[in-house]
Amino acid sequence: KTSKMQYYNNPMWPGEAHSLKVEKILYQGKSPYQEILVFESSTYGNVLVLDGIVQLTDKDECAYQEMVTHLPLCSIPSPKNVLVVGGGDGGVLREIARHDSVETIDICEIDQLVIDVCKEFFPNLSIGYKDPRVRLHVGDAVDFLRNSPEGKYDAIIVDSSDPIGPAQALVEKPFFQTIARALKSGGVLCNLAESMWLHTHLIQDMLAICRQTFKGAVHYAWTSVPTYPSGVIGFLLCAKEGRPVNFLTPVNPIEKIQGATKAGKELRFYNSEIHRAAFVLPTFVRRELESY
């Protein structure tokens, strides 16, 4: 059982905690990789917690899943082969499925129990698995990418947990090198990049690694997710050299994709204007990230 101390003293955000009222514990268990908890909250719907850290809630998952998916996919003309790293809940799959140009969606999630638990308690996310283009691979993404053919993917989305526990290797240079190898020329990566309020050093390190590894373009974007530490989350958008990519303005706007926002399946957060706005950085962030 995760102790109270663990909640208040996470080394990633010492001395801080955000609370949600628990109505009912729906699931508690332990996989070989992490502790898994699902509870019903009084104001954010169901909540998924891994090792004491909130991963998603029914209410605000749209901000995260829509941004992490459409920032990269709307930045390239016609994405065909897409890979998701982590993301076992299925929410990113649901978002990728809006793109009619996509032919294959590979997902590599390390933890089968996350998948099973989300199928039971987060049907609006796990619906993503129902798309026939999805191919599920259960395993460590480090191995999956090492064995992946060169130049296979148009886009890779790294939807993984914080870099403590099973996601540790996913912020290190060799992992980014295998991603670059697996991308087509002009292919893009969207990687989760923590909070600008809490982790500028980590962001600087990831930026430095990505600038060495991806010669096309590297940009930082951010959005609001109230249940993530400090209420915001960042994304690193990287392009492999070969074909110019301009992340700042969507070349493949979601509003023009046939059926992407059809009745009953409307987007809740993302649009082309918020895409452009996501790259506008506060002055202190601009200073800290550019002076690096």
Angle formed by the axes of helices 173-182 and 200-213, nearest 10°? 40
Taking CB under 6 A as the criterion, the residue among 94, 134, 159, 222 binding ligand AAT is: 159
Per CB under 6 A, 89 contacts ligand AAT: yes
Determine the interface stretch with ligand AAT among 88-96, 98-106, 197-205, 274-282 (rule: CB under 6 A): 88-96
- Under the criterion CB under 6 A, does residue 141 sit at the interface with ligand AAT? yes
- CA dihedral (146, 79, 225, 289) positive or negative: positive
What character string, x for contact with ligand AAT (CB under 6 A) and - otherwise, covers 91-130? x----------------xxxx--x----------------
Q: How far apart are CA 64 and CA 269, in angstroms?
A: 9
Verify binding: residue 162, ligand AAT, rule CB under 6 A.
Answer: yes
* Tokens (6 digits) for 244: 């110019």
Q: Does the annotation mark 106 as catalytic?
A: no
Q: Does 72 bind ligand AAT (CB under 6 A)?
A: no
Residues in the chain: 292
Angstrom distances, CA of residue 23 to CA of 18, 38, 179: 16, 11, 41
Q: How many residues bind ligand AAT (CB under 6 A)?
A: 27
Q: Is residue 88 near ligand AAT by the rule CB under 6 A?
A: yes
Task: Please give the residues from 187 up to 206 whose contact with ligand AAT meets the rule CB under 6 A.
Answer: 192
Q: How far apart are CA 159 and CA 106, in angstroms?
A: 13
Per-residue tokens: 46: 């169901």
- Give me the least distance between CB of 15 and ligand AAT, in Å please: 16
Question: Looking only at residues 233 through 262 of this chain, which bind ligand AAT when binding is defined by CB under 6 A?
Answer: none
Q: Which is nearer to ligand AAT, 19 or 283 (CB)?
A: 19
Q: Which two tokens stand for residue 287?
A: 């200073």
- Residue keyed to tokens 């886009």: 155
- The burial class, CB within 10 Å (0-12 / 13-18 / 19+), for 291 is exposed
> In the set 37, 76, 170, 278, which binds ligand AAT (CB under 6 A)?
170
Q: Which stretch binds ligand AAT (CB under 6 A): 3-11, 96-104, 162-170, 198-206?
A: 162-170
Q: Which of 46, 55, 148, 223 binds ligand AAT (CB under 6 A)?
A: 55
Residue 148 dihedral angles phi and psi, to the nearest 5°:
-80, 140
**First and final CA of the chain: distance in angstroms?**
40
The CA angle 113-114-120, to the nearest 5 degrees, is 90
Catalytic residues, which ones? Answer: 159
The residues of the shown chain that bind ligand AAT, judged by CB under 6 A, are: 53, 55-56, 85-89, 91, 108-111, 114, 140-142, 159-162, 166-167, 170, 192, 228-229
